[in-house]
Amino acid sequence: MTRFLTPLATTLPATVPFTGPETMERQQGHPFRARLGANESLFGPSPRAIAAMTAAVSEVWMYADPESHDLKAALARHHGVTPGHLVLGGGIDGLLGLLCRLTLEPGTPVVTSLGAYPTFNFHVRGFGGTLHRVPYRGDHEDPQALLDAARQTGARLIYLANPDNPMGSHHPAAVIEDMVANLPDHSLLVLDEAYADLAPEGSIPNIPPDHPQVIRLRTFSKGYGMAGARVGYAITEPGLAQAFDKVRDHFGMGRVAQIGALAALQDQDWLAKVQQRVVTARARVTAIAAASGLRALPSATNFVTVDCGQSGDHARAILRETVARGVFIRMPGVAPLDRCIRISLGDDAALDVLEEVLPQAVAAAG
């Protein structure tokens, strides 16, 4: 059947960037006791969003508004931009795929960090782009190294997440603003701000929405607790925003998701409560790690990356033993980041299980 595929498609592996916890549960034959690996929000969405989505279920026979007019208008007011500056789509992952389709052709150079969000790499390869990756500097992505590599390669896209996944670190706003001021003319900065709603004050840069070389990506999956609804959006200059209409799936976001996201956005009090619960959970995971002889890294996200203090093999052993005891977690996949494990934040019940299991896993891993 491969005779029907394009030459590019025949070279690509059939893979999923992340193994889902459901796949692992099927392999194990039982569910996880605590689901702390996918950076979902165990605190859930706003009750107002749940009510709105529940009411909308009876309308699911209708297509969603292909222009997402109401949600787009509300987001424009929230961010102080015009609706023309916004693109809505099926999560940040879906928007990254559309952006790569718009900007890449076989051989187009792209710069990212070695160990950064793998779904971006997945889409770049899927459209034939050539990836150039620079190492992290300590536990942070290195903006200067990304700029240097972009100049050397002529990169069309530069990908940076702030706050960062998988390390949970962040750069102050001034660092990102300086990076934007020094972008080479041929590069578009893809600024992934999935965790912006949970970042410390002073983390989010002031970038004019009309800036011609920046596209910022946001989501309802993290702070708003709607990962399963797949609602993401981009903020960028209107010319690029309109270009997405050339390639996007105009019914790619369901009606129930649109209605839920609008209700979630209108309940900023709930988001504030989640932000406080995230701070409390960060402190508890940090303490749980310390009690097992591990060091939690500072986090600006809804997960904590924990330095296991030795090699990647040692961290993988701890991960394996943790998963075997019913707690789903993940870890960075590239050295030297793979000396760590990554634990999503959760409610008290989930963290009680983690507190029980993690010291057992560390002891079993030796």
For the chain, which residues score pLDDT lower than 70?
Answer: 1
Determine the pLDDT at residue 1. 67
Q: Where are the domains of the chain?
A: 18-44+269-365, 47-266
Determine the pLDDT at residue 19. 85
Determine the pLDDT at residue 271. 98
Check if CATH label 3.40.640.10 holds for domain 47-266. yes
Q: Of 321, 361, 312, 319, nearest to 339 (Cα)?
A: 312
Distances 119 to 87, 95, 98, 210, 339 between C-alpha atoms, Å: 19, 11, 13, 27, 21
Determine the pLDDT at residue 148. 98
Angle subtended by helix axes 255-265 and 268-291, to nearest 10: 90
CATH superfamily of 18-44+269-365: Aspartate Aminotransferase, domain 1 (3.90.1150.10)
Cα–Cα dist 2/146, whole Å: 37
Identify the three-state secondary structure at position 112.
Answer: strand
Q: Of 103, 47, 64, nearest to 274 (Cα)?
A: 47
Cα–Cα dist 104/98, whole Å: 10
Nearest-10 Cα torsion for 219, 137, 203, 285:
70
